[in-house]
A and B are shown apart, each in its own frame.
Chain A
């Protein structure tokens, strides 16, 4: 196709803050329920989004994108009009007044044997000029976590910000935007260490 650039990459469109008024544009019915709460295999993924003073953000938006429990990548539409049966792997949750987000979902599986399973997470908020990417790893497979390329590249105290913990209903993953225990956010803009 003649429109495909053969030379240097095109200048990309920069991000801008999601602002305070996204609540009637982005949320939708069923956005946070990748599976119906309480259905077979459903777990709760929840956490607080906090600022540099430790206060919860009442106006943040969190998205997850994940594999199925068997590690496969969902390729099904239907996230915006959930039918209760199709697992699309995508969910969106605005935080409540206390800064908490909550999803009902299935636990992601590793995409290959020995890999560490995680939720790919995107964070938006007023006051954030651009979206932030991070990962919420499942805490159980110590060998997989120890072998993970990203986790291995981080000092121990920062590594722990990316690992969810378990509670009675499922998983807890807090997101600290700034300061003590600041979550590791990711630059996923290219491959540097290998060619996949």
Chain B
């Protein structure tokens, strides 16, 4: 690595970061995902705990999750393309899928939240300095509740990839941030959904912090022509499986929040 030239930004090169990514994947295998201590993601250096999470049995409050309902979410919040004076720029798309626990049981009537960049890869956020245009008709935040079978559905605009300063010429693959609750506290999940075939996958230390390929594949949506609609929007399918305490007391969490 000593021969790698230092790029003019003063940041390390992609090849340095990619070599770290490859070495960790080989060494780590199928350990718990994602890795908390993951040096290729530079801002994890001072923020990851040095000790492994300490196992403890969930107590009573942790066997439940916060309850959300129709009073919390307006159905219009599931459509990120409305709310402006005009149509947002970009590829109109639908993303839908099923939220289940790890036994395949649907997570019913529970909150799903998303946020994302616009078609140009720009967030409506004061700290986003990427010189790509803001879209006056697109904010990029949405909420919905899953239905009785655990399905969520959003209509939005396909986000663009964007640069960041993890290393020189670092680009995030296009993604949508997802926030989910299950039926128990430990099923809480914040993650990111990616689009199939993105050439930036192998270069991205955030996706690669999931060091097992099979687990990374869980984060990639599938193009689904049955979700695509005639002369209107392309469609993607992305199912989500929540972990947690293996649903030991799950029967208590069902049917009481109608």
A12-B242 contact in complex given A127-B44, A191-B248, C-beta closer than 8 Å: yes
A127-B46 contact in complex given A12-B243, A66-B61, A187-B56, C-beta closer than 8 Å: yes
Interface residues in B34-76 by Cβ distance below 8 A to A read 34-36, 38, 41, 43-73
Q: Are the C-beta atoms of B61 and A108 separated by less than 8 Å? A: yes
For B238, give the chain A residue with the smallest CB separation: A13
Asked if B235 CB lies within 8 Å of chain A CBs, one says no
- B contacts with A, residue count (CB < 8 A): 86
Asked if B88 CB lies within 8 Å of chain A CBs, one says no
A195 to B103, CA, bound (A): 18
> Hey, which chain B residues are within 8 Å of A57, CB to CB?
47
A67 to B191, CA, bound (A): 27
- A contacts with B, residue count (CB < 8 A): 82
> Hey, which chain B residues are within 8 Å of A128, CB to CB?
36, 44, 47-48
A26-B49 contact in complex given A75-B67, A76-B67, A131-B190, C-beta closer than 8 Å: no
Interface flags, B78-95, vs A, CB<8A=1, else 0: 000000000000000000
Interface flags, A1-45, vs B, CB<8A=1, else 0: 101110001111111111111111110000000000000000000
> Hey, which chain B residues are within 8 Å of A129, CB to CB?
34-36, 38, 41, 44, 48, 206, 209
A14-B219 contact in complex given A132-B49, A191-B245, C-beta closer than 8 Å: yes
Q: Are the C-beta atoms of B53 and A132 separated by less than 8 Å? A: yes
Q: How far is the CB of B208 from chain A (nearest CB, A)?
A: 10
Q: Are the C-beta atoms of A196 and B215 separated by less than 8 Å? A: no
Q: Are the C-beta atoms of B185 and A21 separated by less than 8 Å? A: no
> Hey, which chain B residues are within 8 Å of A189, CB to CB?
55, 186, 243-246
Q: Are the C-beta atoms of A182 and B51 separated by less than 8 Å? A: yes
A131 to B47, CA, bound (A): 12
Chain A residues near B (Cβ < 8 Å): 1, 3-5, 9-26, 51-53, 55, 57, 63, 65-67, 73-81, 88-90, 108, 111-112, 115, 118, 120, 122, 124-133, 149-150, 153-154, 177-179, 182-196
- Beyond known contacts A22-B177, A186-B53, A196-B63: 10 more, CB 8 A cutoff: A14-B218, A65-B64, A77-B69, A111-B61, A120-B62, A150-B56, A178-B46, A178-B49, A182-B49, A184-B51
